[in-house]
Structure 1
Amino acid sequence: MDLRQLEYLQAIAEQGSFSRAARALGLSQPSLSQRMRELEAELGGELFLRGSFGVRLTDLGTQVVAQGSAVLRQVEQIRTEARSRTGDPVGDVAIGLPTSVALHLTVPIVREVTRRFPGIRLRVIESMSGYLQEWLASGRLDLALLYKLDGAPGLRITPILTEDLYLIAARAGHEEDRASIPMAEIVPLPLVLPSREHGLRQNIEAAATRAGMALQVGVEVESLVHMKELVRDGDRFTILPFAAVREEVRAGLLIARRIVDPVVRRPVALAVSAERPLSQGARRVAEVVEHAVQRALSGRADP
């Protein structure tokens, strides 16, 4: 097995077709097919299912693609590290951001990285914290922001700050000016929250359980945009950090009341793999991300 075979395999998986992969790689299709047959013979199993649907990976193929991608990223990191030693950092850096912060952190992070490190090709992936943690472990991501600081084997966690959580309601029908709301008043309210796989939901329910309370979650929605839209309808509430609704509060669409008795907070941390060293480019991006988080999330920053 060689790196070129892994590159060919990844191209076929991405293109879903031997012919399209061959064109993308600048190879003839018979030559590409021959290299894949050699790889299958060496591994002792089929990597693809071929049919009218095109090409699909077998279980073995899926495993090899995942592991091969990590290998190819490590090889590319070696190359870029060597080039970076003679100048500014270069190469690919992939970062993961939870949805609740991606809306207001993606643009400033991209702008700052582009301004300071033009040789870095940045890729920003937005998803739930659980998925980001898995992708860090597999090598798909170089670094990510996470909310869970425990139960993350194989990761190196650097706490950045903690942020308060707020009850979010529609402005219409809730004109009373209250900066805070006790947890006990939230218990009977119909909430729209993400599923239990989401770090935000886990944090909220853990706080409620410690206080001996059970929340009423009537709707589960993974999309932050849709959660806020449902709250604007006026008959549902949600719980979010203030930064996730800052613009809607300024526009007079939503109101945010800090949860007290008990205060509910969640930690924000920067996570990287404990097993793979960061490239110089990834280290510089990590610095940008940490500063961006501190600027955007520290304090409520009311309008």
Structure 2
Amino acid sequence: MNLQQLRAFSVVAQQQSIRGAAPILGLSQPAVTRLMRELEKSVGAVLLHRSSQGIELTEFGHALLKRAHLILEEVRSAQDELDQMQDGAGGTLDIAISSTAALSIFPRALRTFRQRMPRVELSIAESSPPSTQDQLASGQLDFAIVNELDDHPADGFNRQILFSTQLIIVGRKGHPLRHAVSIAELRDTLWLMPGFGYASTDFLERMFRENGYTAPQDVIACSSLVTALSIVENSDALGMFSEAILGTLRRTGAFSAITTAEPLPAARVSLVTRDNGRPTPAARCFIECLRDASTR
């Protein structure tokens, strides 16, 4: 087993086709086929199953793919670290950030980071649990900034709390329930819970039940902030957003907060890294910039 075989295997699995993988790898189809056969011989197991729908991974293939992603990302990280040690500024950095972080500390941290390491090739995605955690576990992300509701997530990642933010119920301007004084009055409307993953629906149910009310039945866990805002703005749906997001929404004049008697909880904005991963110099620099920005 070698890195060339693992790279080819990863691309074949992604494309579900040797024909589709060949041009990406810069190899001929027979060359990719040979690499796959050599890899299967090396591990002593069938990794690929060919069907009319394309190539599918066997049970052994799925197991190896998880490890292959980690190995390839560690190799990339090692190369980045060496590059950054040599010239102090090169390499790549792949991160995911929550909308709350993007609208608060991230711009300051990014300015400082670009001043310190201007030549790092940076890729930024919107944090979208639970897929963000999956990408982090596989090594596709160097780190992530996520909004969290659970006090003690048991997922094996390292966490640093950057800051906490109050959650606020938001509806469109002129919402028929804008004068509600209790969450009990909001039970029968559609709820959008963006940015927290599927656990947010459980969280909303718990919040209602802890106050002695029946939980809402129509709740959508929406990973896209833009989609959630569009639905809230153009319907009678309600959303639960952070203070940082509400500040931006108020400037549009299209949204308003609904204040209820029951206290609403706060969410944590956490920096999440792999437990067994050593951050590259670029990742360590950006993490330091985020910490500094969160204390201002």
Map of 1:158 onto structure 2: 160
Contact 1:193 1:217 in 2 (8 A): no
Distance in 2 between residues matched to 1:23 and 1:185, nearest whole Å: 58
Give the structure 2 partner of residue 301 of structure 1: none
Q: 1:91 to 1:28 in 2, by over 3 A?
A: same
In 2, Cα distance between the equivalents of 1:105 and 1:20?
Answer: 41
Q: Which residue of structure 2 lines up, in the alignment, with residue 300 of structure 1?
A: none
Q: How does 1:91-130 map to 2 (within 5 A)?
A: 91-98=91-98, 100-101=99-100, 104=103, 108=107, 113-130=113-130
Q: CA deviation at 1:30?
A: 1.9
**Cα distance 1:8–1:150, how it changes in 2: closer, same or farther (>3 A)?**
same
Q: Distance in 1 between matches of 2:188 and 2:243?
A: 19
User: What's the counterpart of residue 275 of structure 1?
Assistant: 276
Distance in structure 2 (CA, Å) of the matches to 1:96 and 1:73: 16
Contact persistence 2:166–2:265 (CA under 8 A): yes
Instruction: Give, in whole Å, the separation in 2 of the partners of 1:71 and 1:267.
Output: 31
Contact 1:103 1:244 in 2 (8 A): no
What residue number does 1:299 align with?
A: none
Q: Note closer, same or farther for the CA distance 1:42–1:105 as it changes in structure 2 (3 Å cut).
A: farther
Label 1:54 to 1:212 Cα distance change in 2 as closer, same or farther (>3 A): same
Query: C-alpha deviations, 1:227-273, integer Å up to 9, x for none?
Result: 32232235232221132343332121110245553232111111111
Letter in 2 for 1:188: R
Residue 8 of structure 1 corresponds to which residue in structure 2?
8
Give the residue type in structure 2 aligned to 1:128: S
SS at match of 1:139: coil
Is residue 17 from structure 1 mapped to residue 10 from structure 2 by the alignment? no
Change (3 A) 1:291 1:211: farther
C-alpha distance in 2, partners of 1:186/1:24?
A: 56
Q: Identify if the C-alpha distance between structure 1 residues 293 and 101 changes in structure 2 by more than 3 Å, giving closer, same or farther.
A: farther
> 2-side partners of 1:284 and 1:128: how far apart?
23
Contact 1:102 1:126 in 2 (8 A): no
Q: Report the counterpart of residue 72 of structure 1 in structure 2.
A: 72
Structure 1: which amino acid aligns with 2:251? R
CA offsets per residue over residues 158-210 of structure 1, 9 Å max, x none?
1111111111111125697x8xx755455535131249953444444443343
Counterpart-to-counterpart distance in 2, 1:86 and 1:92: 14
CA-to-partner distance for each residue in 1:271-300, whole Å, 9 max, x for gaps?
A: 1112111111111122344456667xxxxx
What is the correspondence of 1:125-274 to structure 2 with a 5 Å cutoff? 125-146=125-146, 147=148, 148-173=150-175, 183-194=182-193, 197-222=197-222, 223-258=224-259, 261-274=262-275
Residue 61 of structure 2 is matched in structure 1 by: 61
Indicate how the Cα distance of structure 1 residues 173 and 130 shifts in structure 2: closer, same or farther if over 3 A, else same.
closer
Inter-partner Cα distance in structure 1 for 2:203 and 2:290: 23
Tell me if structure 1 keeps the 8 A contact 2:201–2:219: no
User: 2: CA distance between counterparts of 1:116 and 1:25?
Assistant: 34
Deviation for aligned residue 1:59: 3.1
Higher mean C-alpha displacement, 264-273 vs 234-243: 234-243
1: CA distance, partners of 2:208 / 2:295:
27
Offset of residue 5 of structure 1:
0.9
Question: Which segment is superposed worse, 134-143 or 186-195?
Answer: 186-195
What is the distance in 2 between the residues matched to 1:242 and 1:59? 45
**TM-score (norm. length: structure 1):** 0.81
User: What SS does the aligned partner of 2:12 have?
Assistant: helix
**TM (normalized to structure 2)?**
0.82
Distance 1:102 1:44 in 2: 46
CA distance in 1, matches of 2:85, 2:27: 34
Please tell me whether the aligned partners of residues 149 and 269 of structure 1 are also in contact (alpha carbons under 8 angstroms).
no
Whole-Å separation in 1 of the counterparts to 2:264 and 2:20: 55
The one-letter code of the counterpart of 1:101 is T
Aligned to 2:40: 40
Deviation at 1:225, TM superposition (A): 2.6
Unaligned runs of 5+ in 2: none
Identity of aligned residues (%): 26
Structure 1: gaps (5+ residues)? 296-303
